[in-house]
Amino acid sequence: MKERLEKLLPLVETPARYTGNEVNSIKKSINEGTIRFCMGFPDVYEVGMSHLGIKILYSMLNDREDVYCERVFAPWTDMEDLMRENEIPLFSLETQTPVSEFDFVGFTLQYEMSYTNILNMLDLAGVQIFAKDRDERSPLIIFGGPCAYNPEPIAEFADMVIIGEGEEVLSELMDLYSTHKNNYNRKSFLKAAARIQGVYVPEFYKAEYNDDGTLKRFDAVEAEVPEMIKKRFVKDLDNIYYPDNFVVPYIEIVHDRSLLELFRGCTRGCRFCQAGMIYRPLREKSLETLKKDADALIESTGYEEISLSSLSTMDYTCLPELTDYLMEKYAEKRIAVGLPSLRIDSFSIQTAEKIQQVRKTGLTFAPEAGTQRMRDVINKGVTEEDLISSVSEAFDLGWGHVKLYFMIGLPTETMEDVDGIAKLGYKVLDKYFETKSEKKNKKIKVVVSTSSFVPKAFTPFQWVRQDTIEEITEKQRYLIDNMRSKMINYSWHDPKVSYLEGVFARGDRKLAKVLYSAFKKGCKFDGSKEHFNYEKWLEAFKEEGIDPDFYTARERSVDELFPWDFIDMGVTKAFLAKEYQKALQGKLTGFCKFKCENCGFNEFEEGWKCHVYSKSQV
């Protein structure tokens, strides 16, 4: 295999995507008893290697003596063509072992538009695409990650789906497998696995539909498996495994830096945000743990930047202490501290000012919507005044590059709300011209970026109708026409991609055949402009007799049974419904870090009580 590969590598773009052997990649001797796990990411190396979740799981699994975890990414199409031509099956980076020879193959589902890549990778590996066709020799295919919270569109391709955080479940699965390995029987292993909290085995469940296509019932069809799948979450982040090193790629990846995870969960309660609901409850790591993690990562990777990575990083209770520590220790060594996105307030600007002593980059804010009314609907507790005074402070301090993130297509949105985005862009620009500070930057660039809202399962907006492609296009056109200034740079997302995302985000099992058909037609890398082919997708829907509008264009009734309702993710459907009603009335819900809003989590699991912080702690 190695030799055959070496011949192909000079012929492809960026061959180092396929060679492995990076600093901190794991080499292990393999024996009879070794459990072999292949961690897959259904996108190209540069994207997959940037993802924190698989870094954690890769290191954690390899920390066990009885497991060897390797990596595999989607080969770019030039490499895929050569592999198919030369009959080279999909292989792992560490040992160039065919993926079909592993005990487990895991895929993380980060975005819906990567689903066809999974099918394509299974096919390249020579593994049966549908779970029902697999046998005793097939590897066990596991899915996990945020999109797994509505696993139904991809359920028929999975042997197991992990709902929730992976650390504990995967360890338990490995323990279980080691007792089954010598006397392995697929069915009895899956049955045992289905009893682990957080493991969903789709083939043990059956969906029945009403004539109108909505879900009628969803039942377990195998004895002794749970009716409801309860998600898993790690209770104490100070005592859970966190890697002391990361694999350091040779080629430049999307997030080419160390990532420090400060906390999980986010309790701001933005109503469009799936992460904010599914990753509850809030669990912070202690300052001591973070200092230790940061030191270890900086030492072992040689990276020039460490990024403080969490959902709303600025909310971390000990952020000032943490940034002080990192600056004191590492500024002199020119190791920069990165913040993914700023909260819109003065504290954030001060923090950015402090840490950007080392390397100055742009500032990113996410007001999300253009008018106060719209921001109240989505529960984004930010005012225009907050934004303007924050950018004004930033301009005073010498920043000239400001990025503003918005969403269009939000529920109840009117053209007035869209217009508000353009107006805000100009107000920010005006502020720059009003700036008198000596530090004022000579160059100004305001980047306004809109993504198109996609209603997601397990959010207060899981009932709403999604904007059509035409509606989104009209709004984008309006913004293009109304932000003509050369100093404002407007960027937007392809509405066709958002539309398909919407179909799968709230999809059901019937979509499996559409995915299969799209894959057969050659759909892959649907997230990339170069490869996305909308016509092929429409053909696939048509041939399978499925109307994609069924998933996006309906306002769902309050009592509709959803395909994902069999998953208990902690926050109750009743809470989500209440939030939806409050949204329509434009009523805000507070930040539950300080006052519990009764989302249901405190009743979710015995022994769990959310920590409520007093405001003086912050």
Partner 1 sequence: MYTARVKFKRGNEIRFISHLDMQRMVQRILRRAHIPMKYSEGFNPHPKLAFAMAMSVGMLSDCEYFDVELENHVDPDEMISRINKSSPEGFTAVNALVTNQKMQSLTSLIEESEYTINAKLLNSEDSKKLEDAVKTILGEESIKYRKRNKKGRYNEKEIRPLIKDLDLVIENSKIKLGMRLSTGSKENLRPDVVIGILDPEKILFDWEFGFLTKRTFLGKSNLRERI
Residue among 177, 191, 185, 271 nearest 223 (CA):
191
Site for ligand SF4 contains 267 (CB under 6 A): yes
Dist CA 39 CA 68 (whole Å): 10
Q: Which is nearer to ligand SF4, 107 or 591 (CB)?
A: 591
Residue 396 binds what, of ligand SF4, partner 1, none (CB under 5 to 8 Å, by partner type)? none
Which of partner 1, ligand SF4, none sits in contact with 415, Cβ below 5 to 8 A by type?
none
Pick what 337 binds: ligand SF4, partner 1, none; C-beta below 5 to 8 Å, kind-dependent. Answer: none
Rounded Cα distance, 504 and 515, in Å = 10
Which residue among 109, 121, 546, 610 contacts ligand SF4 (CB under 6 A)?
Answer: 610
To the nearest whole angstrom, how small is the minimum distance from the Cβ of residue 269 to ligand SF4? 8
Stretch that binds ligand SF4, among 190-198, 299-307, 442-450, 589-597 (CB under 6 A): 589-597
Distance CA 192, CA 173 (A): 9
Choose from ligand SF4, partner 1, none: what does 248 bind? Cβ within 5-8 Å by kind. Answer: partner 1
Binding mask 533-572 for ligand SF4 (x = CB under 6 A): ----------------------------------------
- The smaller minimum CB distance to partner 1, of residues 191 and 360, is found at 360
Q: Which sign does the torsion angle of CA 21, 26, 29, 34 carry?
A: negative
d(CA 557, CA 128): 38
Taking CB under 6 A as the criterion, the residue among 597, 606, 615, 617 binding ligand SF4 is 597
Closest approach, Cβ 398 to partner 1, in A, equals: 10
For 57-159, list the strands marked E by DSSP: 67-73, 104-108, 140-144
- Interface with ligand SF4, residue 602, by CB under 6 A: yes
8 A C-beta contact, residue 30 and residue 69: no
Residue 163's H or E segment, with its range, is none
Which partner in partner 1, ligand SF4, none is near 462 (CB below 5 to 8 A by kind)?
none
CB of 522 within 8 A of CB of 490?
A: no
280 binds ligand SF4, rule: CB under 6 A = yes
Asked whether the beta carbons of 387 and 344 are under 8 A apart, the reply is: yes
Q: Which does 303 bind (CB under 5 to 8 A by kind): partner 1, ligand SF4, none?
A: partner 1
Let me know if 47 is exposed, middle or buried by CB neighbors in 10 A (0-12, 13-18, 19+): buried
75 binds ligand SF4 (CB under 6 A): no
Least gap, CB of 395 to partner 1 (angstroms): 16
d(CA 102, CA 371): 53
Q: Is 242 in the site for ligand SF4 (CB under 6 A)?
A: no
Whether 256 contacts 249, CB under 8 Å: yes
592 contacts ligand SF4 (rule: CB under 6 A): yes
Residue 609, class by beta-carbon neighbours within 10 Å (0-12 exposed, 13-18 middle, 19+ buried)? exposed
Interacting residue ranges for partner 1, rule: CB under 8 A: 7, 9-10, 14-16, 19, 21-23, 248, 250-252, 299-304, 333-334, 358-360
Q: Which ranges constitute the DSSP H helices of 109-202?
A: 115-125, 166-180, 186-193
Question: Residues 207, 208, 212, CA angle at the centre, nearest 5°?
Answer: 125
Listed in sequence order, the DSSP H helices in 248-345 are: 274-278, 287-301, 319-330
Neighbours of 415 (CB within 10 A): 10
114 binds, among partner 1, ligand SF4, none (CB under 5 to 8 A by kind): none
Q: Does 599 bind ligand SF4 (CB under 6 A)?
A: yes
Pick between residue 490 and residue 604 the one whose CB is nearest to ligand SF4. Answer: 604
Written as six digits, the tokens of 155 are: 């359920």
Q: Which listed option, partner 1, ligand SF4, none, makes contact with residue 4 (CB within 5 to 8 Å by class)?
A: none
- Does 278 engage in binding with ligand SF4 (CB under 6 A)? no
The single residue among 143, 242, 246, 601 that binds ligand SF4, judged by CB under 6 A, is 601
Residue 573 beta carbon to ligand SF4: minimum distance, rounded to whole angstroms: 14
C-beta of 576: minimal distance to ligand SF4 in Å?
A: 12
CA–CA separation, 105 and 60 (whole Å)? 16
Total residues binding ligand SF4 (CB under 6 A): 11
| Partner that binds at residue 584, options partner 1, ligand SF4, none, CB closer than 5 to 8 Å by kind | none
Closest CA to 321 of 283, 285, 361, 362: 285
Instruction: Choose one: 171-179, 456-464, 555-563, 597-605; the region binding ligand SF4 (CB under 6 A).
Output: 597-605
Q: Does 596 bind ligand SF4 (CB under 6 A)?
A: yes
* Beta strand residue intervals within 497-615, DSSP E: 567-568
Q: What pairs with residue 284 in β-bridges? A: 263
Under the criterion CB under 6 A, does residue 490 sit at the interface with ligand SF4? no
Q: Which residues contact 116 (CB under 8 A, 6 or more apart)?
A: 515, 518, 519, 523, 524, 526
Nearer CB in complex with partner 1: 175/299? 299
Using CB under 6 A, which of 243, 281, 411, 460 touches ligand SF4? 281
How many residues appear in the chain? 618
Whole-number Å distance between alpha carbons of 226 and 158: 18
Residue number, 541 or 575, with CB nearest to ligand SF4: 575
- The site for ligand SF4 (CB under 6 A) is made up of 267, 280-281, 592, 596-599, 601-602, 610
